[in-house]
Amino acid sequence: METIERRSLKEEVLSRVKEFIMKGRYVPGQRIVIDTLAKELGVSVTPVREALHHLAAEGLVSVEPRKGFTVKKWEPKEIEDLLYLRMYLEKLATRLFIERASERDIEELSMIVKQMDSAVQSSDLEALTMFNSQFHNKIVQGSGNEELHKIMESLSAKLHRVRILSLSYPGRMEQSCIEHKVIFDAIKERNVISAEKAVEEHIKNVMTTLLKRVQEGLI
């Protein structure tokens, strides 16, 4: 049994439960039994229940009468709404990044692309998901727009889950890496129009993948 240290108990439990959901240990629609989870983590049911209520507010968990807490299933409209919002926010971030980025920023982005490629070569989904997030976060941070950064941060949990669900679909790891290289090449050339187009195509491909998974009953 994996026991959590008592310090920062509430935050530790929240972090662990969120990690279980993000990594697919609990699949969409699956019921989360509070007593069982609390026993596994070596804590009382109270911090587990608090964590689940917090995750429900974030949109990762649903609370249903007589059924309790379940991992939230994705609806097609929710996917489309989230990814269209992400698309326009990231196109703006990319435009601003190109205008403001230093050569060092470009080089750091290049290193992330290389790390993504290595993760694909070794079929390391967890590493690819991490580097994928770093790539997009670097662009948002480099945009210099604090309000944009705050909005993207508020969406981070859902977007992280989107990345895992998309990248774990057959063939998406390789294709996603290619799409990020296209985005990077346009950024390196400081070609705003090409970069925005590449971002749009990438996110539309993510959307298509997730909608397929919904149709197949996988999410």
Instruction: Say if 1 falls within a structural domain.
Output: no
| pLDDT reading at 152 higher than 70 | yes
Predicted local confidence at residue 190, as pLDDT: 97
> Does 59 lie in the same domain as 87?
no
Instruction: Say if 4 falls within a structural domain.
Output: no
> Does 96 lie in the same domain as 51?
no
Q: In this structure, what CATH number is given to the domain that contains residue 20? A: 1.10.10.10
Percentage of the chain lying above the pLDDT 90 cut: 63
Tokens of 80: 């489309």
| pLDDT reading at 27 higher than 70 | yes
Confidence band (pLDDT; 50, 70, 90) for 1? Answer: very low
Buried b (16+ CB within 10 A) or exposed e, 67-90: eebbbbebeeeebeebbeebbebb
Tell me how far CA of residue 60 lies from CA of 54, 130, 187, in angstroms: 9, 19, 33
The whole-chain average pLDDT of the chain stands at: 90
Confidence band (pLDDT; 50, 70, 90) for 174? Answer: very high
> Does 104 lie in the same domain as 179?
yes
From 25, 46, 71, give the residue that closes a domain: 71
Contact 182, 147 (CB under 8 A): no
Q: Rounded distance, CA 206 to CA 212, Å?
A: 10
Instruction: Say if 144 falls within a structural domain.
Output: yes
| pLDDT reading at 128 higher than 80 | yes
| pLDDT reading at 67 higher than 90 | no
Q: Report the range out of 20-34, 47-61, 187-201 with the highest average pLDDT.
A: 187-201
> Does 84 lie in the same domain as 129?
yes
